[in-house]
Structure 1
């Protein structure tokens, strides 16, 4: 093969990799039902990978390890490196199944261990104070935004749903009589989550005395001041502000999710039921809350037992 033919072949391979990444992203979204955030993250990771492996011929285990090592040199967090590894492995399997690769090269990559921190967990008393605080401290305590904020906080703590799941809820997803909501989680998987009487009261107040005042032509359950579906960033700000007002700095919606799960387990709920409520695909993800409960038990023991 002449040098010009080799250049042409290399050029075709580069184009092929770029097109393959686009097709792979479509596969993740349309076939696997991965979230837009996951698809964006994988696409971004694979874009950096093509700098090390611009052709399928150069897509080797040595190149992949060099790419990950470069991420370490750049100071990437272990979570980012783990996502890079997952992206490469998923793409490698897809490329092998579509005959771009002769073997599933990245299957030999090992995912770096992630040092998982125990999540922040509120006490039941502090959680109860927090979800009722917005109405008491808002500039307009009876205004639609204050009523909305309390309903969102009550629902987040009552159900443990993710902030993205909360913002995607429509009015039609609620069943106030049965006190349950239909939630669409990761991978577009739907589940039904129950909520209690306090959340129902807050939701009723929002639907009957708040939402109509600011909602535009949208089916969204929670809306912003312009009447459109509320943005997750705005919800995070509302939760953080509520935390500051109750001396819980840097509180996030995920902190309420952690608290809800932990309080359920401490109250005697079965781990598998908590897994279903939270929408975890793996029991391993849910098991972190057993460690949280165990640590809290140790703390209480240390404070209360005379021979601790």
Structure 2
């Protein structure tokens, strides 16, 4: 190991990242976030001898003084705690020094949630350069709203992951965990129409990909976000993102009477607590409707 300032930690951070990837199956986005935070820590803490609870608290204190968001503080705390647990198990530390590090509570800021009629209008208003792109974009909008899947899950879909006869999609979520999600007739019809013209795109670099970009490669997340944004501008629901469609799908399922655990399974949440935020959204919408409709509200 290197004896340069931060060198010992930097090498351990790379080993920790490999552990997160190969053993725990963490997503690349999570690993990048952990690595970035821990490298920032390594610039302050030269080696494991200086890796103490006080040093970690001072590091987080500097982040507070610099005006970092509560979400950033929570992420840094999670990175330090995960790294500390791993380092103790590997023998770098005599004890898990970050176990008592408190994670700041982060307020939930939900994106825009569509009304059900707004969602219906959005589905038919993809803004596309030609018919084949319109069919692709419409299928993506329908599938995002029908399943509540994440944009990364949509772009990762292969054609073989979709069963139109059963109207289900096999989705690979965070940590490479797979789940089977149902969708309705509208999404099935839109996907079938897209598959009819998919061959008109250039030969695919990834022939398995369900959705293709203009050049025939697997569509990327940025393109999907543009599709959602353009449709939202036409329908007057500006500021909508694919994540907003995910929140809308969850909210509408609950408003329709779906059980909370069913919504948890559909969305691929590891914890029911994550899904419970939608009960607050639905309650707020119910209160608004009540106040508009009841004569003595």
TM-score normalised over the length of structure 1: 0.93
Q: Distance in 2 between matches of 1:215 and 1:271?
A: 43
Residue 214 of structure 2 corresponds to 225
Report the 3-state secondary structure (helix = DSSP H, G, I; strand = E; otherwise coil) of the residue aligned with 1:133. coil
| 1:244 counterpart (215, 233, 241) | 233
Q: Distance in 2 between matches of 1:225 and 1:292?
A: 37
CA RMSD of aligned residues (A): 1.4
Query: In the alignment, is residue 211 of structure 1 matched against residue 198 of structure 2?
Result: yes
**Contact 2:251–2:282 at 8 Å: present in 1 too?**
yes
| 2:246 counterpart (254, 257, 260) | 257
Query: How many angstroms does 1:72 deviate by?
Result: 1.0
Deviations 1:233-290 (A, max 9, x none): 1101110111111001111000000000010011010000100000000001000000
Query: How many angstroms does 1:73 deviate by?
Result: 1.5
Query: How many angstroms does 1:10 deviate by?
Result: 8.9
Query: In the alignment, is residue 53 of structure 1 matched against residue 41 of structure 2?
Result: no
| 2:155 counterpart (167, 170, 193) | 167
Structure 2 unpaired stretches of 5+? none
Deviating more after overlay: 87-96 vs 114-123: 114-123
| 1:295 counterpart (281, 284, 292) | 284
Q: Distance in 1 between matches of 2:31 and 2:203?
A: 31
Deviations 1:54-76 (A, max 9, x none): 10000011110111011111211
Q: Distance in 2 between matches of 1:145 and 1:76?
A: 41
| 1:27 counterpart (6, 12, 19) | 19
**Contact 2:158–2:208 at 8 Å: present in 1 too?**
yes
Q: Distance in 1 between matches of 2:44 and 2:98?
A: 14
Deviating more after overlay: 11-20 vs 230-239: 11-20
Residue 76 of structure 2 corresponds to 84
Q: Distance in 2 between matches of 1:93 and 1:254?
A: 32
Alpha-carbon distance change, 14 to 70 in structure 1, aligned in 2, over 3 angstroms? closer
Q: Distance in 2 between matches of 1:37 and 1:82?
A: 16
TM-score normalised over the length of structure 2: 0.96
Q: Distance in 2 between matches of 1:188 and 1:117?
A: 26
**Contact 1:121–1:256 at 8 Å: present in 2 too?**
yes
**Contact 1:10–1:55 at 8 Å: present in 2 too?**
no
Structure 1 unpaired stretches of 5+? 1-8
Q: Distance in 1 between matches of 2:177 and 2:295?
A: 49
Deviations 1:172-197 (A, max 9, x none): 10100000010000000000000000
Query: How many angstroms does 1:12 deviate by?
Result: 7.0
Residue 272 of structure 2 corresponds to 283
Alpha-carbon distance change, 118 to 15 in structure 1, aligned in 2, over 3 angstroms? closer
Query: How many angstroms does 1:13 deviate by?
Result: 8.1
Query: In the alignment, is residue 126 of structure 1 matched against residue 118 of structure 2?
Result: yes
Query: How many angstroms does 1:119 deviate by?
Result: 3.6
Q: Distance in 2 between matches of 1:215 and 1:269?
A: 41
Query: How many angstroms does 1:118 deviate by?
Result: 3.8
Query: How many angstroms does 1:144 deviate by?
Result: 1.1
| 2:67 counterpart (60, 75, 80) | 75
